[in-house]
Amino acid sequence: MKDDGEYKRGYKLSSLRGITGDTGILEEIRFGNIKQHDLKLSKKMVLESKMLKPGDILINDRGFISREFMNQLKREREIDSYIPLKSNMEAFEQAVSIANAENNWKAHPNKKRKNQKIAFVGSLGSYWRSAEPENDVAIIGCVVYDTKTDEYHVFVTTDTTKTARQIIMTYELRPEIEEDYRQIKDFWKIEDFKSTKQNFIAFYIVMVLIGYLFFQLYKGMEEGEKYAGKSLPVAIKKYVEEGSKSVIIYSGQYFGIFGFLEFIQLYSSCGTEVKQCLDPILAKV
């Protein structure tokens, strides 16, 4: 595809993440070409996911703004959505206008956001309609006002039982999810492809994500508690290897896993030609 005058090639990865405590768990992924829109790539995965259950919530970013999608999730799956509105939307403008007219601002519950205030706005559904308005579910919102920058932000949800505080605190989980994804790119090198072939790239991505998932699950176990809240580089730096090493040898479609002692015994019984093939492996052990 062409981007800023330059041709680029690549792939898009959509992931469904579950949050357990302070940890994000990858539950499903979809893999598509770079031209595919984020919503188109993810929509079927979310609507058909066996991981999502009635009563669950879905936190989205602006790339997933779709009234129809929110309606489907609420009506067909009983799943509530949380999403920020774009500033050029009528619902955004009306929410800000109502919040200022009612003037019922509260302090932002996040102590790091001392310059921000929040206000609850109900019944925003009529300001954001789908092509079939009779199927539109009700939405409410939380308006955030930054007194320092004089900027507004509006977050809406289909869960009409929530307060402004609950809406914004739920959406505040998203930065943690984004940090998780940043670590996958920076520390797990998920974009470090060694081939342009799609099957190689798909295999590499799946293997990286499986490793990441096991790492997250391990940190949730009693044995891995000491690594909770730590990134991969920090965990590796503090990791002390215990027990004997194993050696994996593969050729074509065949492979074998040997204990280090067993490998040495096999090595000693091999001829010179085979030893020369095994020497590079032994040098790394």
Residues 250-284 pLDDT 10s: 888 888 898 888 888 888 998 999 888 888 877 87
pLDDT for position 41: 82
- pLDDT classification of 285: cutoffs 50, 70, 90: low
The answer to whether the beta carbons of residues 57 and 80 sit under 8 Å apart is yes
Contacts within 8 Å (CB) and 24+ apart, 199-206: 201/11, 202/31, 205/13, 205/29, 205/31, 206/29
Nearest to 42 by CA among 55, 56, 58, 53: 58
Question: Degrees (nearest 5) of the Cα angle 160, 165, 167?
Answer: 45
- Work out the number of other CB atoms within 10 angstroms of the CB of residue 272: 6
pLDDT for position 68: 95
- pLDDT classification of 2: cutoffs 50, 70, 90: low
Give CA–CA dist 283/267, Å, rounded: 13
pLDDT for position 185: 79
Q: What is the mean pLDDT of residues 168-189?
A: 81
Give CA–CA dist 109/131, Å, rounded: 36
pLDDT per residue as tens digits for the range 117-163: 999 999 999 999 999 999 999 999 999 999 999 999 999 999 999 99
Per the DSSP assignment, residues forming a β-bridge with 11 are 33
